[in-house]
Copies of this chain bind each other. A is one copy, B any other.
């Protein structure tokens, strides 16, 4: 792993992509060069465009969070402000989503709405660049009076990310001067020697680095670097959520070995640390971030890619503390994990980070919105023991942790985070380097890259993945002489995969396979992945699922949902892993058994209590991301073996 300058790929303001390092192993592709054209993710993006984004925008109006900005303009915040202290950030995330969406499909409506919102923000911004509706108005709490919980720099960071997205997508509308003024204000206020603090919720770090990448202003990078270096020095107060670990202020970022505390905070901080590391050539910092994330993957990550085992503090647990029924696995933590994995993939070229992205996208991000795109999971449990309840209609849910998806939350970070992620998803498909093109995620798509000094190469991908394991890649543009088409062989393919076509017959193990040759337009490569059902075993140190297995199919985690087996108590079933699973179009069926209801259960159920008897039953597994769309239900991913 090393941090090397990339060749000069085009870096105009119009290259629409969320993360754009100036050094690293792989170069990301903007939306114009990576476009999903159909299949699983195109359907999700359509849902995002038609339902999620409009729903978020409407909700922001309905609950008055955009109204807060109007009240800031009107000077009426003291009497009219509503909502929690981070509501501004939701506006910024929706603006970011609109920017990506508009870049993928030009829309006068989205462009107009972005213009409206930008004008409102411009009017609300203070003369010195400060912009926040919760703090700093006459009669309100003072600016930066609560660094622990105030989320002011967090909100500012999301403003900058929205601005970067809008500028790169060609809908500036005046956002660049707002974001620059906000960033300049932060740099002045938090300069070394001035207010040497950090924000309780990281986010400003990664945002400032991206603004630096866009503008070339060194002081934004320097400020981000200061925030990273100040962290872990115990400048923030104690909390009841695991002390200062809660906001990663116990151990300096360079020194930590594993992610701790609030999962979203920890992961946003790590994303910022990677950004700072690659831009400032700090290999120690890059190693530290990678070491922490790798250990977190190995020991603190749920099967579906979700992170954060504790409801209390929305936090990482100890190693292997991964209760299925109390999985918190906040949607935003999944998104934040993708942010980190993507940055590490670009920095190191290690394909296993693309595996993490795939797993988390299909099983956390895709599970968040319901089928109508207007209700969302905040928490992504792997086991629901009782059917729970529907949210109260018309009322924003508190952090809803049981029952079905809710349409809005008093802390509504997840819907807006999903919106911006889905809208920019194309950018995560592939990368390029001097030698060629790397395909990391398989979806019907057109992908192209400019090889420095040589011209453009391009492939068209056709596949019904993940439902089918055949991926067809056709060369649609090429350069003279050999170049390399690289394919990710997912880690879940225990036996590797077969590649056929123009490059001959190749067996490839998990990881990256490079196909280097002189390619001709029209040539095809066929990647054959075995997407049949398979049984997965957890680390034996994960107490919560000891003696259990899970079922997967391709990158999809499957689950048992009670609506598919209404006569069975899911708490009492076991699965016979010697049985060969059979498949239908929508489900996988495996033989199982039912445990007898123990006569006595506490304190000592007796040695025989766990023995299944009775005739076999059929257990019907469906993809996890689809659950809870057919009424209230119980569900489990991990099932005891017979």
Apart from A242-B401, A319-B386, A546-B546, list 11 A-B contacts with CB within 8 A.
A240-B399, A240-B410, A309-B326, A310-B326, A312-B312, A321-B325, A536-B603, A539-B601, A540-B595, A540-B640, A541-B601
A331 to B508: give the CA distance in the assembly, Å.
56
Q: Which residue of B lies closest to A363 (CB)?
A: B603
Residue A242 contacts which of B359, B402, B572, B604 (CB distance < 8 angstroms)? B402
Contact check, B603 vs A359: say whether CB atoms are below 8 A apart: yes
Tell me the A292-323 residues at the B interface (CB within 8 Å): 297-299, 301, 303, 309-313, 317-321, 323
A531 within 8 A of B: no
Contact check, A601 vs B299: say whether CB atoms are below 8 A apart: yes
Residue A297 contacts which of B539, B540, B602 (CB distance < 8 angstroms)? B602
Contact check, B320 vs A385: say whether CB atoms are below 8 A apart: yes
Contact check, B398 vs A240: say whether CB atoms are below 8 A apart: yes
Residue A544 contacts which of B323, B491, B494 (CB distance < 8 angstroms)? B323
Q: Which residue of B lies closest to A399 (CB)?
A: B240
A598 within 8 A of B: yes
Nearest CB on B from A321, distance (A): 5
Residue A299 contacts which of B309, B313, B602, B604 (CB distance < 8 angstroms)? B602
Contact check, A320 vs B402: say whether CB atoms are below 8 A apart: no
A111 to B350: give the CA distance in the assembly, Å.
72
Tell me the A535-584 residues at the B interface (CB within 8 Å): 535-541, 543-548, 571-572
**Beta-carbon contacts of A408-443 to B below 8 Å, as 1s and 0s?**
001000000000000000000000000000000000
Contacting chain B: which of A89-97, A185-193, A471-479, A606-614?
A606-614
Contact check, A605 vs B325: say whether CB atoms are below 8 A apart: no
Q: Which residue of B lies closest to A311 (CB)?
A: B312
Residue A609 contacts which of B310, B359, B537 (CB distance < 8 angstroms)? B537
A239 within 8 A of B: yes
A-B contact pairs, 14 of them (CB 8 A): A238-B395, A310-B312, A310-B326, A321-B326, A324-B543, A492-B604, A494-B604, A537-B604, A537-B609, A538-B605, A539-B605, A541-B598, A543-B548, A546-B640
A312 to B121: give the CA distance in the assembly, Å.
37
Considering residues A326, A399, A401, which has the most beta carbons from chain B within 10 angstroms of its beta carbon? A326
Residues in B with CB closer than 8 Å to A310 are 311-312, 326
Residues in B with CB closer than 8 Å to A401 are 242, 312
Contact check, A610 vs B323: say whether CB atoms are below 8 A apart: no
Residues in B with CB closer than 8 Å to A201 are none
A151 within 8 A of B: no
Contact check, A537 vs B605: say whether CB atoms are below 8 A apart: yes
Residue A543 contacts which of B239, B321, B325, B603 (CB distance < 8 angstroms)? B325
Contact check, B536 vs A604: say whether CB atoms are below 8 A apart: yes
Residues in B with CB closer than 8 Å to A318 are 325, 385-386
Q: Which residue of B lies closest to A391 (CB)?
A: B243
Residues in B with CB closer than 8 Å to A572 are 541
Nearest CB on B from A612, distance (A): 9
A383 within 8 A of B: yes
Contact check, A543 vs B492: say whether CB atoms are below 8 A apart: no
A602 to B535: give the CA distance in the assembly, Å.
14
Nearest CB on B from A304, distance (A): 9
Q: Which residue of B lies closest to A571 (CB)?
A: B541
**Beta-carbon contacts of A510-533 to B below 8 Å, as 1s and 0s?**
000000000000000000000000
Residues in B with CB closer than 8 Å to A297 are 602
Nearest CB on B from A590, distance (A): 15
Contact of A602 with B301 at beta-carbon distance under 8 Å, contacts A546-B640, A571-B320 already known:
yes
Nearest CB on B from A603, distance (A): 5
**Beta-carbon contacts of A37-78 to B below 8 Å, as 1s and 0s?**
000000000000000000000000000000000000000000
Nearest CB on B from A534, distance (A): 8
A533 to B317: give the CA distance in the assembly, Å.
32
Residue A323 contacts which of B323, B491, B541 (CB distance < 8 angstroms)? B323
Residue A571 contacts which of B319, B359, B399, B410 (CB distance < 8 angstroms)? B319
A313 to B538: give the CA distance in the assembly, Å.
29
Considering residues A240, A317, A319, A492, which has the most beta carbons from chain B within 10 angstroms of its beta carbon? A240
Nearest CB on B from A220, distance (A): 35
Tell me the A98-152 residues at the B interface (CB within 8 Å): none
Nearest CB on B from A29, distance (A): 27
Residue A598 contacts which of B240, B535, B540 (CB distance < 8 angstroms)? B540
A385 to B321: give the CA distance in the assembly, Å.
8
**Beta-carbon contacts of A386-404 to B below 8 Å, as 1s and 0s?**
1000000001001101100
A383 to B605: give the CA distance in the assembly, Å.
20
Residues in B with CB closer than 8 Å to A602 are 297-299, 301, 303, 539
Tell me the A596-631 residues at the B interface (CB within 8 Å): 598, 601-607, 609-610
**Beta-carbon contacts of A473-508 to B below 8 Å, as 1s and 0s?**
000000000000000000110100000000000000
A5 to B375: give the CA distance in the assembly, Å.
56
A401 to B318: give the CA distance in the assembly, Å.
12
Considering residues A297, A298, A325, A598, which has the most beta carbons from chain B within 10 angstroms of its beta carbon? A325
Residues in B with CB closer than 8 Å to A543 are 323-325, 383, 544-545, 548, 638
A399 to B243: give the CA distance in the assembly, Å.
10
A541 to B383: give the CA distance in the assembly, Å.
12
Contact check, B603 vs A303: say whether CB atoms are below 8 A apart: yes
Contact of A539 with B598 at beta-carbon distance under 8 Å, contacts A318-B386, A603-B492 already known:
yes
